[in-house]
Structure 1
């Protein structure tokens, strides 16, 4: 019993240490956003002596938060809708087709996850620029392409766990392949869909590199791009940058809180029977 209690307490202590190590950076960011610029350097890792809530109103104006939020929301939402629709349909076709060609296509999609984004970034942006297809719609297409391999991988694994008898029963009832997928199969994939949504939403919402190369019109800048406004050539407005960072991460945290219970289930289903 003593050994079991010791093991239990060790697990608890380790869990608390890991939790604190994950939460503490957010603690620093949040309280840093309520400090003056001078206090950020003199009191970096603790609660502010004097709270400066005005940082948020100034950061809101500097970010042009309303416009940049809508830009980020439009790009992220549009990209995810396209990714979910086409990736799920592609995974369904690959999972239900038992030919060697479909298997080869699936493994090709899985292998593309190993290709570094940076290796194709510059040529891709150059090509899109030559055909005048940059800014928001070009970025959405690129997001779709880069996220499809992982999304197909997750959907494919979940699809393999769904019995083919459901398809056959729906087919005998007169359903077309399109109707069978959207009315019978896709609703069962809800946990996987939620996983695909949250994983892509976090990445796309916070992405800076690709939008910085693709978006060249001021009114189309996303929140991460507008964050660069606080980093000048000679000075950095750290108090506003931290406040802007809080404003930027709150929407994605809210989304995660609402749908996090589906994530573990979706990842588990996408990782088996592949």
Structure 2
């Protein structure tokens, strides 16, 4: 009797949690296909009369600045992720392969940095960005995103520990220096970790709102998140257009997760168990 009740409660809780996550998305999806009159006169869960009404998507894409948002987001994402991989793999290689005084302190400071809320350091960060004359440029977001990512470093460290040191020694016997070992031996073997970091970091940058909004206030430098936020101005009463813009923003991350989720799970679990 207890097991039956426990099983029932388990599935009921799963259904309720799934509905809480799915119902808002379904509501937005149906609203994106409705006309202005439909969104005023029908309920949120009422299907649109015409599922082929793409006028809201055209308006959102052409008049809402979504094209420039995708371009700015793509530039920032590619450069930032490349910088994160380069800095993260080099830092992980130095920490894992070299034995130096203060090594444990460095690892401890990395861990401490993850516990400090980023909002508490924004005043100092803003002063640094202003001093570098990067405010209201793409360079501000790129520098902040490409900076030392603690999560990425720990993922690289997990994989690095599974690579035998004997490979480094064999390369040294062949006359390779430290940089050659890193570039020709270590980096190719970190491909699973790099794929994991690309997916996690890429989605995080794509969805980021605070940094672009604070450091790139110019409308011409709007990214996906800030462009969608600015919809509330010219399209404040046209909720169907805002819903269409929301769908346009959601689709890329949804497709990326559906096609690449196994790489995320495999990358995190294999790195943690090696």
Deviations 1:28-65 (A, max 9, x none): 22222112345446321342244442100000112322
* Distance change in 2, residues 1:171/1:6 (3 Å): farther
5 Å-filtered alignment, 1:148-159, equals 148-159=149-160
Contact 1:110 1:153 in 2 (8 A): no
Contact 1:110 1:149 in 2 (8 A): yes
Mean Cα deviation higher: 70-79 or 119-128: 119-128
The answer to whether structure 1 residue 43 and structure 2 residue 43 are counterparts is yes
Contact 2:96 2:157 in 1 (8 A): yes
* Distance change in 2, residues 1:234/1:136 (3 Å): closer
Q: Match of 1:44, SS? A: coil
Distance (whole Å) between structure 2 residues aligned to residue 251 and residue 234 of structure 1? 23
5 Å-filtered alignment, 1:1-274, equals 18-40=17-39, 42-51=42-51, 52-134=53-135, 135-145=137-147, 148-232=149-233, 235-272=236-273
If the length of structure 1 is used for normalisation, what is the TM-score?
0.86
Cα displacement (A) at 1:129: 2.0
Distance (whole Å) between structure 1 residues aligned to residue 208 and residue 156 of structure 2? 23
Distance (whole Å) between structure 1 residues aligned to residue 173 and residue 13 of structure 2? 55
* Distance change in 2, residues 1:17/1:182 (3 Å): farther
Distance (whole Å) between structure 1 residues aligned to residue 86 and residue 110 of structure 2? 16
Distance (whole Å) between structure 2 residues aligned to residue 236 and residue 117 of structure 1? 34
Q: Match of 1:35, SS? A: coil
Query: Where does the alignment leave 5 or more consecutive residues of structure 2 unmatched?
Result: none
Contact 1:68 1:226 in 2 (8 A): yes
Query: Where does the alignment leave 5 or more consecutive residues of structure 1 unmatched?
Result: none
Cα displacement (A) at 1:173: 2.6
Cα displacement (A) at 1:211: 0.6
Cα displacement (A) at 1:78: 0.7
Q: Match of 1:132, SS? A: coil
Mean Cα deviation higher: 10-19 or 57-66: 10-19
If the length of structure 2 is used for normalisation, what is the TM-score?
0.86
Contact 1:32 1:48 in 2 (8 A): yes
* Distance change in 2, residues 1:187/1:239 (3 Å): same
Mean Cα deviation higher: 257-266 or 200-209: 257-266
Cα displacement (A) at 1:80: 0.5
* Distance change in 2, residues 1:46/1:234 (3 Å): closer
Contact 1:208 1:225 in 2 (8 A): yes
Distance (whole Å) between structure 1 residues aligned to residue 22 and residue 191 of structure 2? 29
